[in-house]
């Protein structure tokens, strides 16, 4: 775990050496600012529900761009071999990489917090849904980045990693619609995979144990297959 | 210190390494020699735990590389060969990269600074410590890779083509550095540059197409390689090659005979087979046939020739 933190620290620093982090965070804030403004001024309701759903969708499209380099670049440069031959486990590497990008995401979230803050300052919003919305924003991002990290382990080409990550995420976003089309157990099962449902609940202020479990399971599953994927490559 | 037994590695159906065994004692420098694609890097990657072997076993300092990879990794310093020089984080400064590597290798904070400085000193990169790795020349990058391998004083150093991409002066420096480090450390290095191996290593393992074709000291290898000494006799004038060949074949103890014409001279090259000195017989043969010897030269087979003999035997 200690070693994972060392990797996470390096990872976070390297984001700020290249323009990627600045560009992505900057663009994200630009889009979110515009969306916040237009949604709030057209609805004139002091809540961030609709805004949250839109922002999570936008971040879902951006997450693979943030995560694409995590393992692809290491593979391409050959530094993955350096990590693998250091006295650390594959799990340390994967956790470290994941924590690194999560820390970057939390920095983004810190900027994101300004929007609910305006509501608190200038209106009297219902605080409950706002707090759970922020939680939803964090959990949704964490899930997207776990999928992005796995996509990054598949190829040494960053572009391919980003595209695979995006397609996987869009799949998880729209899979809920199948629930309406396919009746019965299969439809229900597929619908339960959707990233939208738990986010909707959280945006309404509902904290449901199964939703939290959904996020935990999704993140765990993708980190787990990333570890397996990296181990498998060595045989 | 290092024990490799019957090591094999297949990439799917493709054979990379098969049945390679060797041992390296503490303080020795072993050279893995072989043409490109012979399997040198694969062997090193198995030793460092990056690849899992398909068969056989390897032990470093008593720890099996498959069973206890972390114990092995704690004891080795590995300098890998990347696509362009050693693989390093190009966006980091030399200092911060080495700090990161030392931290991963588990040096306590107090010792870390000292370790990093010592490694930089040994590799001669103190003057570039605050520069960004990506902007360094390939020679310096190579040295940063070496410094990384030297961090935390590993018992075993595994260096994959340590002098690749260096200029002649740097090559000599790195070789000297490697030689200086032997004694306390056990070193395996790979190369396809023969003089390098013959200059730095106590022991040489020649690998070809994934298999070990020879293992010995350089002198022994030269001697073993079908005879050892080589004698070249230059005869005056153009002679009938078959006739010359026929006469010289009568000499006992010849391993190999080759007759060519070169600049109006007839050149007879022979390789000795056995320990008998054949120069006298060669002389007599020439005199008996009335051929005039302008030059006679004998030499030990260079490692290069041994290497070519061993690795091209099947095709010949």
The DSSP secondary structure of chain A, one letter per residue, reads: -HHHHHHHHHHHHHHHHSSHHHHHHHHHHHHHHHHHHHHHHHH--S--HHHHHHHHHHHHHHHHHHHTHHHHHHHHHTHHHHHHTSS--HHHHHHHHHHHHHHHHHHHHHHHTHHHHHHHHHS---HHHHHHHHHHHHHHHHHHHHHHHHHHHH-S-HHHHHHHHHHHHHHHHHHHHHHHHS-SHHHHHHHHT-SHHHHHHHHTT---HHHHHHHHHHHHHHHHHHHHHHHHTT-
How does pLDDT run across A152-178, given as a tens digit for each residue?
A: 999 989 999 999 999 999 999 888 887
Is the Cβ pair A81, B52 closer than 8 Å?
A: no
What pLDDT sits at residue A125? 83
Residue B274: closest CA among B230, B310, B233, B226: B226
Q: How far is A83 from chain B (nearest CA, A)?
A: 9
Q: At what angle do helices A49-67 and A196-203 cross, to 10 degrees?
A: 140
Closest residue, chain B, to A2 (C-alpha): B104
Q: How far apart are CA B112 and CA B97, in angstroms?
A: 12
B47 touches chain A (CB under 8 A): no
What pLDDT sits at residue B84? 65
Q: How far is B42 from chain A (nearest CA, A)?
A: 11
B155 or B308, which is more confident: B155
Main-chain phi, psi angles of B131, to 5 degrees? -90, 160
Q: How far apart are CA B246 and CA B254, in angstroms?
A: 13
Is the Cβ pair A82, B74 closer than 8 Å?
A: no
Residue of B50, B92, B105 with shortest CB distance to A87: B105
Burial class (CB in 10 A: 0-12, 13-18, 19+), A203: buried
What number of other Cβ atoms are within 10 A of residue B140's Cβ?
Answer: 21
Instruction: Read off the pLDDT of each residue in B68-91 and give the average, rounded to a whole number.
Output: 84
How does pLDDT run across A26-69, given as a tens digit for each residue?
A: 998 899 999 988 888 888 877 788 888 888 888 898 899 999 99
Q: How far apart are CA A182 and CA A191, in angstroms?
A: 9
Is the Cβ pair A87, B91 closer than 8 Å?
A: no
Q: At what angle do helices B138-150 and B168-181 cross, to 10 degrees?
A: 10
B312 or A79, which is more confident: A79
Q: What is the H or E stretch that residue B87 is in?
A: none
Is the Cβ pair B87, A78 closer than 8 Å?
A: yes
């Amino acid at each position: 775990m200690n070693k994972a933190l060392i990797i996470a620290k390096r990872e976070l620093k390297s984001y700020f050496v290249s323009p990627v982090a600045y560009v992505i965070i900057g663009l994200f804030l630009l889009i979110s600012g515009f969306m916040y403004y237009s949604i709030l001024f057209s609805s004139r309701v002091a809540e961030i529900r609709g805004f949250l759903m839109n922002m999570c969708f936008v971040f879902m499209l951006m997450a693979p761009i943030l995560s694409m380099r995590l393992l692809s670049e290491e593979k391409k440069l050959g530094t993955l071999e350096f990590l693998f031959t250091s006295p650390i486990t594959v799990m340390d590497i994967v956790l470290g990489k994941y924590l690194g990008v999560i820390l970057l995401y939390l920095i983004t979230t810190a900027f994101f917090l300004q929007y609910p803050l305006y509501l608190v300052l200038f209106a009297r919003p219902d605080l409950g849904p706002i707090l759970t919305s922020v939680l939803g924003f964090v959990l949704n991002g964490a899930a997207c980045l776990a999928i992005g990290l796995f996509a990054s382990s598949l190829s040494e080409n960053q572009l391919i990693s980003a595209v695979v990550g995006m397609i996987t995420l869009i799949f998880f976003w729209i899979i809920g619609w199948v629930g309406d089309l396919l009746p019965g157990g299969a439809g229900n099962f597929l619908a339960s995979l959707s990233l939208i449902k738990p986010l909707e609940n959280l945006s309404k202020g509902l904290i449901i144990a199964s939703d939290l479990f959904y996020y935990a399971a999704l993140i765990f599953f993708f980190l787990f297959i990333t570890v397996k994927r990296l181990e498998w490559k060595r045989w | 210190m290092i024990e490799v037994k019957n090591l094999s590695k297949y990439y799917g159906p493709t054979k990379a390494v098969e049945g390679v065994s060797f041992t390296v004692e503490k303080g020795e420098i072993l050279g893995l020699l072989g043409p490109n694609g012979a399997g040198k890097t694969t062997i090193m990657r198995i030793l460092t735990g990056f690849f899992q072997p398909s068969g056989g076993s390897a032990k470093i300092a008593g720890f099996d590389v498959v069973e206890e990879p972390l114990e092995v990794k704690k004891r080795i310093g590995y300098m890998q060969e990347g696509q362009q020089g050693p693989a390093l984080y190009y966006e980091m400064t030399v200092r911060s990269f080495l700090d990161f590597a030392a931290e991963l290798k588990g040096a306590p904070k107090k010792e870390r600074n000292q370790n990093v400085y010592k490694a930089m000193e040994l590799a001669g990169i103190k003057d570039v410590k605050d520069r960004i790795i990506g902007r360094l020349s390939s020679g310096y990058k190579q040295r940063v890779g070496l410094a990384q391998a030297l961090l935390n004083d590993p018992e075993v150093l595994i260096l994959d083509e340590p002098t690749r991409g260096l200029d002649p002066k740097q090559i000599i420096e790195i070789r000297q550095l490697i030689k200086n480090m032997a004694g306390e450390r056990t070193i395996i290095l790979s190369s396809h540059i023969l003089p390098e191996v013959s200059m730095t290593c106590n022991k040489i393992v020649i690998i070809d197409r994934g298999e070990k074709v020879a293992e010995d000291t350089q002198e022994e290898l030269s001697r073993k390689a079908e005879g050892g000494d080589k004698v070249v006799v230059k005869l005056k004038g153009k002679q009938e090659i078959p006739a010359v060949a026929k006469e010289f074949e009568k000499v006992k103890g010849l391993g190999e005979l080759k007759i060519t014409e070169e600049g109006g001279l007839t050149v007879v090259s022979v390789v000795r087979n056995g320990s008998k000195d054949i120069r006298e017989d060669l002389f007599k043969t020439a005199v008996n046939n009335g051929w005039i010897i302008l030059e006679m030269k004998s030499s030990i087979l260079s490692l290069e020739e041994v290497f070519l003999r061993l690795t091209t035997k099947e095709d010949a």
